[in-house]
């Protein structure tokens, strides 16, 4: 289906609408399950750039495109770069590992001496940067201007810092070495800005606007999707002092921004609601909780200030119906995972029925 551009415009403006914007995460939830051919050829070991065979990866994009053709929503197939792979951490210098048993990637910290921080922007891993270029060039050619290509979803400041220094060490570093941590934040910001500038030619305009790497969103201007997953391990004061300043600088580069959080980072959500640099907030609904009763007050707070997107990795018809009934459809986008067209049709029917009941029955 073509993108319903009017619904997307209404989402960003929080305008009157009959139902929420609905875009599906089509296909499997877990990253490596989305790329089964690539998963077969990856070694069960530490990875090098040569281990990512782009010709094999494109076979997986053929499969994902065919799967998405059976899904009807308000968006279309978006050619996002290797979902779930820690590319920016690899470029930063982190060793990247892969497990065939779990199908997961993980990183190792590499900053063992604070003297390494200042040279980070000039000492990026050229092999992984070249691989990112190779992937983006291949995806743009593969899309053939038929499908939109977004800026790659590269992790942002807190995720980069946590990966480089170590998830357990960084919070303590904020107390023991605060000035060094600020230098690390500045270096990560410089690197992300540089990567953004280098990748923009691979994310061309599409129908008078641009798409985001996640959530199936289109906007009538340059947009980005950023995430602060690592904020779940930080305190409110640490996030405010060490992460928020660079976040504001980076987001000013775009006309439309959407910032992703997991529920453990609700404290950080509250810190960004009054920032003009953040256009919209995405806050997951997750299988491990909190439950809907806990999430609704937070979602309501977001909707009072900004458009809200909800990504749901595991959700049933009853849950998505309740969300539609209890949240304002203005400025609301739902992005549930749908493994196939049948799941998508059930969830879409639930959304449309609940929206009708909300509007006409109450």
* pLDDT exceeds cutoff 90 at 154: no
Give mean pLDDT, residues 238-244: 97
CATH code linked to domain 5-360: 3.20.20.210
pLDDT tier for residue 31 given thresholds of 50, 70 and 90? confident
pLDDT at 331: 98
The overall average pLDDT reported for the chain is: 95
pLDDT at 3: 86
* pLDDT exceeds cutoff 80 at 57: yes
Tens of pLDDT, residues 84-134: 899 999 999 999 999 999 989 999 999 999 999 999 999 999 999 999 999
Q: Where are the alpha helices (DSSP H) in the chain?
A: 5-13, 31-34, 36-41, 54-68, 87-92, 126-143, 157-165, 169-176, 178-199, 236-238, 244-251, 266-272, 292-305, 317-326, 341-360
* C-alpha distances out from residue 43 to 97, 98, 186, Å: 9, 7, 34
* pLDDT exceeds cutoff 70 at 1: no
Tens of pLDDT, residues 258-293: 999 999 999 999 999 999 999 999 999 998 889 999
The domain limits of the chain are 5-360
* pLDDT exceeds cutoff 70 at 362: no
Give mean pLDDT, residues 248-252: 96
Q: Tokens for 320, please give them.
A: 């998505």
* pLDDT exceeds cutoff 90 at 349: yes
pLDDT tier for residue 201 given thresholds of 50, 70 and 90? very high
pTM of the full structure: 0.96
pLDDT at 36: 94
Radius of gyration (C-alpha) of the chain in whole angstroms: 20
Tens of pLDDT, residues 320-337: 999 999 999 999 999 999
pLDDT tier for residue 83 given thresholds of 50, 70 and 90? confident
């Amino acid at each position: 289906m073509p993108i319903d551009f009017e619904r997307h415009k209404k989402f960003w403006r929080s305008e009157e609408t009959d139902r929420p914007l609905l875009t599906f995460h089509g296909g499997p939830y877990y990253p490596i399950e989305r790329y089964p051919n690539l998963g077969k050829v990856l070694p069960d070991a530490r990875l090098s750039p040569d281990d990512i065979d782009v010709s094999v990866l494109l076979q997986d994009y053929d499969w994902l495109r065919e799967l998405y053709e059976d899904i009807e929503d308000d968006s279309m197939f978006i050619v996002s770069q290797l979902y779930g792979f820690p590319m920016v951490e690899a470029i930063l210098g982190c060793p990247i590992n892969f497990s065939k048993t779990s199908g997961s990637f993980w990183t190792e910290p590499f900053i063992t001496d604070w003297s390494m921080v200042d040279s980070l922007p000039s000492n990026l891993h050229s092999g992984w940067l070249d691989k990112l270029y190779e992937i983006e060039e291949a995806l743009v050619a593969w899309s053939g201007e038929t499908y939109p290509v977004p800026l790659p979803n590269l992790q942002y400041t807190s995720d980069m810092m946590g990966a480089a220094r170590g998830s357990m060490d960084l919070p303590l570093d904020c107390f023991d070495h605060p000035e060094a941590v600020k230098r690390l934040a500045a270096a990560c910001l410089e690197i992300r800005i540089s990567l953004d500038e280098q990748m923009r030619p691979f994310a061309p305009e599409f129908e008078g606007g641009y798409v985001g790497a996640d959530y199936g969103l289109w906007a009538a201007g340059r947009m980005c999707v950023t995430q602060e997953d690592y904020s779940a391990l930080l305190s409110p004061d640490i996030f405010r002092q060490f992460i928020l300043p660079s976040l504001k600088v980076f987001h000013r580069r775009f006309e439309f921004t959407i910032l992703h959080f997991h529920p453990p980072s609700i404290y950080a959500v509250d810190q960004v609601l009054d920032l003009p640099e953040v256009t919209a907030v995405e806050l997951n609904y997750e299988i491990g909780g909190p439950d809907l009763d806990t999430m609704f007050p937070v979602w309501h707070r977001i909707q009072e200030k900004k458009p809200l997107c909800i990504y749901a990795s595991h959700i049933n018809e009853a849950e998505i119906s309740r969300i539609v009934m209890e949240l304002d459809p203005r400025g609301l986008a739902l992005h549930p995972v749908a493994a196939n067209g049948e799941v998508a049709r059930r969830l879409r029917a639930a959304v449309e029925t609940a929206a009708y009941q909300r509007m006409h029955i109450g």
